[in-house]
A = this chain, B = another copy of it.
Amino acid sequence: MPEDTPTLDQAAYQIRRYGLDVDPQAVLVAVRLMAAGARLGQAVEVHFSRFGLSAGRYRLLAALEDADGEMSPSGLADVLGVSRATVTGLIGGLEREGLVLRRPSAEDGRSAVVVLTARGARRMRELAPEHFGRLQEMVGALDPEERTVFLNLLGRLVRGIPALTRERSAREE
């Protein structure tokens, strides 16, 4: 898949096929962002697989680091923005590899505490230089000012995402 698909022409063609009054450029922005996200997501998985991690597992470990090594599963779910069920799965994998361990909570009998092990901390320490180095390299094509512009525009697009999922007025159904 070439990296600049679809083109503006393709978008315009798809829209015209049904005679819609939609701006092809706007659709192009949406579609390219989706494509970029998917492509980046896959690359990130490849990237993390070098360290025996996945993107989700890395993010969990990083969240644990930020919380000084301890956190409840539901706290992790909130921070990571995934469901508690997903966190259960991530913890399972990390626990099997000894990067994390589960302890029952002292205060709340329902709750558990996920603890970053020494091995988990070491893994994070080892991968950090290459990880951040590669991220920086990826973004290297943009100068600082362009990065600021990009962050601004991206943030505004993200705030528009609810337009995809919002319910519309009932009579439209």
A20-B129, A139-B26 given; A154·B33 CB < 8 A: yes
Which residues of chain B are within 8 angstroms of A125 by Cβ–Cβ distance?
Answer: 18
Residue-wise interface mask of A (132-155) relative to B, using a CB-CB cutoff of 8 A (1 in contact, 0 not): 111111111110101111110111
Copies in the complex: 2
Q: Determine if A157 and B138 form an interchain contact, defined as CB atoms under 8 angstroms apart.
A: yes
- Judge whether B132 and A20 touch: CB under 8 Å: yes
Using A20-B129, A22-B132, A164-B44 as known contacts, say yes or no to A29 and B79 having CB atoms under 8 A apart. no
Interface residue range, chain A: 35 or more
Asked if A25 lies at the interface with its beta carbon under 8 angstroms from chain B, I say yes
Which of these, B35, B62, B128, contacts A20 with CB under 8 Å? Answer: B128
Min C-beta distance of A14 to chain B, whole Å? 7
Complex alpha-carbon distance, A146 and B149, angstroms: 9
Interface residues of A in 1-37 (CB under 8 A from B): 1, 3-4, 10, 13-15, 17-18, 20, 22-23, 25-37
Question: Which chain B residue shows the least CB distance to A77?
Answer: B1
Closest to A49 in B: B165
Contact residue among B14, B18, B81 (Cβ-Cβ distance under 8 Å from A1): B81
Show 12 A/B contacts (Cβ-Cβ < 8 Å), sorted by A.
A14-B62, A14-B65, A17-B128, A23-B144, A26-B139, A27-B132, A29-B142, A29-B150, A31-B135, A34-B41, A135-B164, A150-B153
